Every structure is written in structure tokens, then in C-alpha cells.
Structure 1
Amino acid sequence: MAGTTGHSKHFEASRRAVLKVSLLLPFIPSAARDAAAQGALPQQIPAGTKLVAADQNEALQTLIRASGVQAKLSSNVTYANFLGGPAILEAFRAGALDLATVGNTPPIQAHAAGEKIPIIAARVSSETDYFLAVRPGLKIDSLEELKGKSIAYGEGTGRQPFVLNALKLAGLTRKDVKLVPLRAADFPDAVRTGQVDVAALNEPHFSRYLADFADRGASALPKAQNDRLPRSLTYLYASQKALDDPAKAAAIREFVAGWIDASRWSHQNVDAWVEAYYVKRQNLKPADARKIVESEGEFQFPLLASLIAKQQSLIDVIHEAGDLPKRLDAREEFDLRFDEIIAAKTN
């Protein structure tokens, strides 16, 4: 009997221990569980490993090279220039790309299309990504005055939620305006020629528009109105095929760390960055270029797990507008294994 009693006590203690662990499990953040389930990233980069990165306006390659990061990379990284998220998505589909920097919307469009291109890093600015440029001769002083106006609309680009959020903040719907579907490359021409009343432009296109068409009455919504909109969010995302390749995954891990270093360098060495990109690549005057850099605000590199809720809100805005066939789960758009390298670079 004594042995039986001892065995019962041991069984009961074990049962309680298992129960205690099972009760604790639900309180482990789901993002942390997801990262643990994905395993660790490879770190060995074999000689001859190659990556192809999408670029826009040659900004990424100039940043990586001018900062000195390119020379330190163990892999051979080449760049292909694109304009807009949809074109980059097509290149991913064709298997021509390994990674790209994009706005906050292309990962959603990729997700909706069934493409696996996980987000692997993010950069958040204290300022907005776009500015609402107004056609020459027209004056708009508030978001509410967008009512009845024609607005350039780039579905699948960061300009899409930017416009939708502007309408939402103004208490308007897409029925209150005329949304004109255009490619991102056509936005500057559309607003300067009056094809649309308003277009969301990024730099350097925004400053160039205001400078080149000042004598014709080019304008923009006041900064105070633009500041009502969400802050700039740039994503680095990679093809799942590349991430499933140990050599490329290790090279991408190294590239993420280098991208963070290069972004910081651009703010710590403004004159060098202005000269390398805005003056030599974009043919802007140094004074104008410096204003652009200052307008970008400060950069932060948040953990991917902290952005899931923000990305879900963005998904919901696009879904509510009728531009997504179904509501998506934002957690499926992130490769949380990269939080380890992001944390190491930001702590």
C-alpha cells in the first residue's frame, strides 16, 4: 500500500506539473511561438552565393554602396530597377528576384495573390511616406476638401492605403471622390498636366513637382493635414524560395543587418548621402536635396512581431474598401526569425 501511495503521489505531482505548463502555454505570445516554430536562420554563406534585389529609383543600391555595406557583404548582390510594387511582384512571380524594399501594401497584394514573399525587416519613419500634391491652379487646404476631386489611385502600391486613410480621416468614402487608376510611374505626369486633381507623390518626385511647376501654381495639401496620415513604413521582403535555400537565407540575414547599418549611415552622414543619391543620381540641387532628407524624419527598426497589429489594420482598411477578396491574417506575412538579427542591431 505504501508503494502504491507513493506512486499515486508521484503521478499526481506529474499531472499537476503538466497542467501548470499547459495553463502557461496560451500566455506565450503567439508571435514568439511562430518564430520558434520556424527555427533558426542559417548563418553560413558559401562562396559564390548570389542575390538579386529589386530597387526603385536606384535608391537601394546607392544606399548600400555609398554606405560601404556592399563591399562588406559575403554574397554577390546585384540590383534590378523597378517603379512600383506591382512590377516587383511580377518579377517575384517569375523567379527573377530574391528580395526587395517596398511600401506597406505590396506584401498584402502578394498575400492575396497566394504568393509567399515574407516580410523580413522594416523601417519606420517619424514622417509620412507620401505627400498629397495638387494640380496647378487648384488649392486644397484640408483632407475634407478632397470631396468631389479626382485622385490618382495606385492599387497594390503604398499610395493605395495612403489615399484610403486620407478619405477615412476626412469622413469620406471612395464614392465621394473619383479614383483614377494609374501606374505609380504615371502619378507625377497626371497631376502636373491636370489629368487628376490630387496625387500622392514620394520624394524626389514631390519636391521636383513643386519646384518645376511653381510658376504655374503647383501646390500641395498643408503639412499639418498630411501629418494626420500614418507614418512612413518601408518593408524589406524576400521570396520564400530564397529563404528555403540555406545559402541564400544566410545571405539575406546578412543583408538585413547591412540594410539597417546603411540606413543609419544615411542619417549620420547627410552630406555624403545627399551627394551620392540626390545630387548625382537624381540631379537635384544640394540645398533642395537636404530638405528632402530632413523631411524624412528619424528612422526606427521595430521588431516584426510589433508590426503585426499595424499591418492587420492596413489589411482591414483595404478590405473594407472592397479591394481585397477576403480578410487576410497579417501574421502570415512575416518571417519572425529575423527579429533576432533586428534586435541584435537595435539593442
Structure 2
Amino acid sequence: MSIKKLRLHAVCALFSLALGGVFGAHAFAQPGGTDPAVPAGTKLVVADQNEALQTLLRSAGEQARVGASITYANFLGGPAILEAFRAGALDLAVVGNTPPIQAHAAGETLPIVAARKNSAPDYQFAVRPGLTINTLKELKGKKIAYAEGTGRQPFVLAALKLAGLSRRDVRLVPLRAGEFPTAIRSGQVDVAALNEPHFSRYLRDYADQKASAIPAAEHAALPTSTAYLYASPKALKDPAKAAAIRQFVNSWIRASDWAVKHPQQWVQAYYVKNQGLKPEDGFAIVKSEGKVYYPLLSALIPSQQQLVDLIHDAGDIPKRLDAGEEFDLGFDPVIKAAVDSLPPAAN
């Protein structure tokens, strides 16, 4: 048996022991319109990262609005989440812009059912202690952490393209997403694209060793932050789970809106209490995220296609894909209804 199959069986066994249950398939439920009540006993298994999703929904009071019982499973990075989907162990996950492309390239059908966009970049480039890099052009000759199948992949490729560099001009060091913070702290790599709260924590904890980052202005033209909610086809074929997923889409959008409109409560609940950061660091993170909005999926196809083409041109996927196949546009009415229901911001 191959290593890949062994890992897949291990994931499946782990989730069978931890969560139990078998995910069945039925006729596809149709999103949109008036949702039927979620039947009693309906369960969803949802992937989380850094406990951000569960903290968000609970803090916003949206957890109880979903009629299903939700179990969260914590992961680090999109590839591990994809393996769990392949093992039949997940119904839903919030990931970045690249895992759906990775799933698509692997022949997996994991439709995107909702999205959240920020006006700020996905990540920020941290620089190893003692080294200073002021421009993207100075990436030439540097060792850069690289994780295929995560949002860090097109982020690095876009930075190289913007700087007029190719992957031959740098040394891409293959790592898992969870290894990035350790790799940059130890000097295993010169540059690593970190997300929050890891970026702020790195600069804070290693300030005495002259930890630094590429200036924010150099990130301005890089891909902005995109969070996709994508689902298991098996769950979407189950009428009860499909109804629960539509409710989850609504609650996810409402919870995200709550966090934007109540930054003090959100910072305290997640960045301070859950992640152990100082309040001022949490507020700096929230401010750096820029504006947040919840576009219709149909509007996201062109930008997703650009990422698909970028990854293909770099040789990381074997054929050019149609990004439109990654979205379930039937959820656009659900998204629109959720956005229309958002309360106005307080004056």
C-alpha cells in the first residue's frame, strides 16, 4: 500500500474513532428559497483552523442558530483538510483560495458554497531574525517557505511574478503550513508567508533577535484574503445536512459581520482569550484585515481563474482548470439573503 493510501486510511480511522458515524449520499438538496426545518439529530462535522471558526460562531451567538449538532475538528492547513474530506470524515470547512484548486486538480468535487473577502492581503512575509528585506525584488536568491495546496502557494508565486522573478531565481523550501512559524524562527528559511495570529506573535516574541518583515507597502498588489466555505458532496446530497449547511452559511456570514462590528468583543474572545495575544496586538490584526464583504460566488470566478492559471503556469498542476467548476452557484440566493439580513452598523 502506498504512503498516500496509508495516510488516507489513518485519517479515516482517526475520525471514525473520534467522531463515529457514516456519511451517506442521497439526492442533491436544492439551495435557495425557504429552507425546511433541520431534522432533529442532524449532525455536521466542520473543519477548523486555530479554533477560529468555532470561537467566531459561539462568540457571535450564531452557533445555536444552526439546527444541527456541530462537531469541530482542528487542522493546520488545507492539505490535511482535503485528506479528511477524502476519508469521508468532514462535511464542511473554511479554507483559503487554494485548497479548492488542489481538490479540483485531484479530481475531487468539493463545491464552494460561500465566501468572505477582505481588502487586505492573505498573508504577510516574515523575515528570519537578523535579515532585512525591503522589497520583493530582494527575494532573489533567498530560501522561501512553500506549501503547495495552501493559500501560501499562489501568494509566493504572485510575489515572484510581481518582482519579475521566477522560481529558478529563489529556493522554494517545501514545508507544511504548520511548520512555517518554526522554520522562520529557526532560520531554516529566509522568508515565510505567515497568517495571523502567527505573524504578529513572531514579530513580538523574536523582537530581541531582530525579527522583521517585508514592508506592508510591498504586499499591496498581492492576493487579498479570501476564505471559502466548501462542502462535501455527500453532505449536500443529504436533505437534512444540506438544510443545515444553508443555515451554517447564513450564520457564518452573520458571525463574521458581528466580529467586524464588535471588534472589542471579538479581540477579547479570540486573540486574547483563545490565542494569548495582548489586546493591542489583537486590535492591530483586526485593523490590518481591512474591509470585509461577502460576494456572490458568480462574481468570484474571474479572480479564482487567475489563481488557477498562476499555479498552472508555475507547473504545480498538470492541466489548466475551469475555476467555474469549483463553485455551487445555487448558493448565491442563500448568500444574498444572508447579506440582506445583516443589521446596520451602529452610529
Q: What TM-score comes out, normalization by structure 1 length?
A: 0.88
| Aligned equivalent of 1:136 | 129
Shift, 1:187, TM fit: 0.3
Partner of 2:120: helix, strand, or coil?
Answer: coil
> d(CA) in 1 for partners of 2:109 and 2:55?
27
Q: Kindly indicate whether residue 309 of structure 2 is the aligned counterpart of residue 335 of structure 1.
A: no
Q: Kindly indicate whether residue 108 of structure 2 is the aligned counterpart of residue 104 of structure 1.
A: no
| Aligned equivalent of 1:273 | 266
**Alignment-mate amino acid for residue 291 of structure 2:** E
5+ residue gaps in structure 2? 1-27, 341-347
Q: Kindly indicate whether residue 256 of structure 2 is the aligned counterpart of residue 228 of structure 1.
A: no
> d(CA) in 1 for partners of 2:216 and 2:142?
19
Partner of 1:199: helix, strand, or coil?
Answer: strand
| 8 Å Cα contact 1:67-1:266 kept in structure 2 | yes
Shift, 1:237, TM fit: 0.4
| Aligned equivalent of 1:31 | none
> d(CA) in 2 for partners of 1:73 and 1:202?
28
Identity %: 68
The one of 283, 286, 289 aligned to 1:290? 283
> d(CA) in 1 for partners of 2:56 and 2:278?
18
| 8 Å Cα contact 2:31-2:246 kept in structure 1 | no
> d(CA) in 2 for partners of 1:43 and 1:80?
26
The one of 116, 123, 126 aligned to 1:123? 116
**Alignment-mate amino acid for residue 298 of structure 1:** K
Q: Kindly indicate whether residue 67 of structure 2 is the aligned counterpart of residue 43 of structure 1.
A: no
Shift, 1:142, TM fit: 0.5
Q: Kindly indicate whether residue 250 of structure 2 is the aligned counterpart of residue 257 of structure 1.
A: yes
**Alignment-mate amino acid for residue 184 of structure 1:** A
| Aligned equivalent of 2:19 | none
| 8 Å Cα contact 1:132-1:201 kept in structure 2 | yes
The one of 305, 309, 315 aligned to 2:308? 315
> Residue deviations 1:207-259, cap 9 Å, x none?
00001111111000001001121211110000111111111111000100000
| 8 Å Cα contact 2:45-2:73 kept in structure 1 | yes
The one of 152, 166, 172 aligned to 1:173? 166
| 8 Å Cα contact 1:102-1:236 kept in structure 2 | yes
> Residue deviations 1:255-301, cap 9 Å, x none?
00000000000011111111111111101111111111111111100
Partner of 1:274: helix, strand, or coil?
Answer: helix
Shift, 1:332, TM fit: 0.7
| 8 Å Cα contact 2:31-2:242 kept in structure 1 | no
| 8 Å Cα contact 1:38-1:337 kept in structure 2 | no
| Aligned equivalent of 2:60 | 67
> d(CA) in 2 for partners of 1:345 and 1:240?
22
5+ residue gaps in structure 1? 1-36
Shift, 1:39, TM fit: 5.0
Shift, 1:38, TM fit: 9.1
Shift, 1:345, TM fit: 2.1
**Alignment-mate amino acid for residue 333 of structure 2:** E
| 8 Å Cα contact 1:134-1:218 kept in structure 2 | yes
**Alignment-mate amino acid for residue 315 of structure 1:** V
| Aligned equivalent of 2:299 | 306
> d(CA) in 2 for partners of 1:271 and 1:71?
22
Which one has the bigger helix percentage?
A: 1
